[in-house]
Amino acid sequence: EVQVLESGGGLVQPGGSLRLSCAASGFTFSSYAMTWVRQAPGKGLECISTITDSGGSTYYADSVKGRFTISRDNSKNTLYLQMNSLRADDTAVYYCAKDSSSGWRNFDYWGQGTLVTVSS
């Protein structure tokens, strides 16, 4: 059974840092691109960062570019998101999502999400 499980969320002050993790199981992690998607309270979905299967290429939304860093450890089947210089508008539920094998770049499995709250 495919599972992705996020952790690391919590309350952080503006300007602070947080590292999210996403543990994957039930599939060959090293064969799939992975993406972090966030959802601010009561709002829609935003893809903020993607990393290719090998980790050799990354993408960032303008809203997080220069502040967030995506990485992965294929030996540990784990995806990471290092978040620095956090702002109030980064408050959201953060989901990790697996690219499907269909080739159509959709997300076929999602974690349950981890809440990040940026507040003083």
Partner 1 sequence: DIQMTQSPSSLSASVGDRVTITCRASQTISIYLNWYQQKPGKAPKLLIYAASSLQSGVPSRFSGSGSGTDFTLTISSLQPEDFATYYCQQSFRSPRTFGQGTKVEIK
Asked if 35 interacts with partner 1 (CB under 8 A), we say yes
Alpha-carbon span 9 to 23, nearest angstrom: 14
Nearer to partner 1, 42 or 120 (CB): 42
Residue (35 or 78) nearer to partner 1, CB: 35
Q: What is the DSSP letter of 15?
A: T
Which residues 6+ apart lie within 8 Å of 29 measured at CB?
72, 74, 77
Residue 108 engages partner 1 in binding (rule: CB under 8 A): yes
53 lines the binding site for partner 1 (CB under 8 A): no
The interface region with partner 1, picked from 11-19, 23-31, 68-76, 100-108 by CB under 8 A, is: 100-108
User: Is residue 57 a contact point for partner 1 (CB under 8 A)?
Assistant: no
Binding residues for partner 1 (CB under 8 A): 35, 44-47, 50, 59, 61, 95, 100, 102, 104-108, 110-113
